[in-house]
Structure 1
């Protein structure tokens, strides 16, 4: 056995303490919101300081949240934006990355320069709004999907990953009569599943958390995503519609716990998705970031 020096053991201990502390600082805000949402509303209103466990066990806030039709409609809209938007993102990013990763493609370097240029300079909000309006997508679901169909940063990651695949595989497939679509969907993408999983996570989280584009482009409330409903509840304090039948003296306390419960309801699904993709995360980013 190799005997570790005192300095090495000290470093490992300090590193462990630091990581534990960092984990606590990262996790505690979520636990604070969770404990507050499950606590007695009157106690939450009077609270000043930290929460280490729920005070009582009260699910009334969650019942009121799920009874609110706006929350359910927002959930359905957000699921649509996440599923359809992410599918389109993966398709467009894969097509672009595959084309720009092939050696024989003409003008790929100037095209890549123009794509990277958009990461530093963009037209801005007003030209984008005018474009969406002129395309007839204003106040429609597509206004949240089409303009963000592809991310330049994610395109670069996927392109670099595709470049690491041996050219001999593509040549062998072409000898067997495969075209570019067959090579992409039956060879390149299956060999790049770690980076595809990372792209699904990046795009999915982006769509789930998106609210600004909805605030700008949508006017019809039935199209609002969940995060825009959450913004109304937290910022404009619009919890009155959820408290029908609640006594006047109880409205203010239950209104506070409704805010915490809404945050949990809006955050939990994407947190549950992460463990299934986490094992691909580091590998996918590294494959897409380093070209051997």
Structure 2
């Protein structure tokens, strides 16, 4: 693995990334390459890098797992901004970097993302035609989720609150950084939280199971307004022409990945090859790291990428 800093040319912000290489890597050859996008509130050392990135590198692909701008080890201030436009633009900046590497085949680039990262990867594919195939692992359309559950089904009230808070901060008040999850599963239950996704997210992010220094599960409240007007799947019927695979678990929770995954599969009518993998006994967070869910997902997505990106290095 190589750790690098990618310069974001538009904003002069460095993007921190890990490049995962096949075991038989030879820098004189060129490889199919996959950009791996982490979930909302996550970082490159979690599921996007140490689970799917690692497995794809072992399967012969070069993988670039990176931290979003304003998050993890990447640059940008204030911290913990979740901007869908920036998250999608980051993918293009990572591809800009990838195509300068002598061992990356610029004609064989794919993208994979988990949770919010899955929807970001799919959205990027609508307009980023250097992406030749995309996989969304339990993808969540953050715009839809913010307009619904994350705003208490009161998007206009949330926008008013964001506006008021941003004015306060512009005048010198402290930033309002929202913690996205309870500190523990026990605390969640003590507060009456029973939803599968909330409890399983807490078990992943707040315990040694998935906890990493860069995975803060935080969001700057005042700078999230644009998320509420964003739709990951807008124009998919006409612009999503590349092959797309969606992997979802049928044990559903409040974050709505099953709903979003089946929606984009249904709308991807212009895709050259659209596939959905629906796992009956898996949940959203099972697909982050549990072998009984990740294994079947990899059994489908690795051959999918091999068909559309090639399965070996070129001389």
TM-score by length of 1: 0.28
TM-score by length of 2: 0.26
Higher relative contact order (CA 8 A, sep 6+): 1
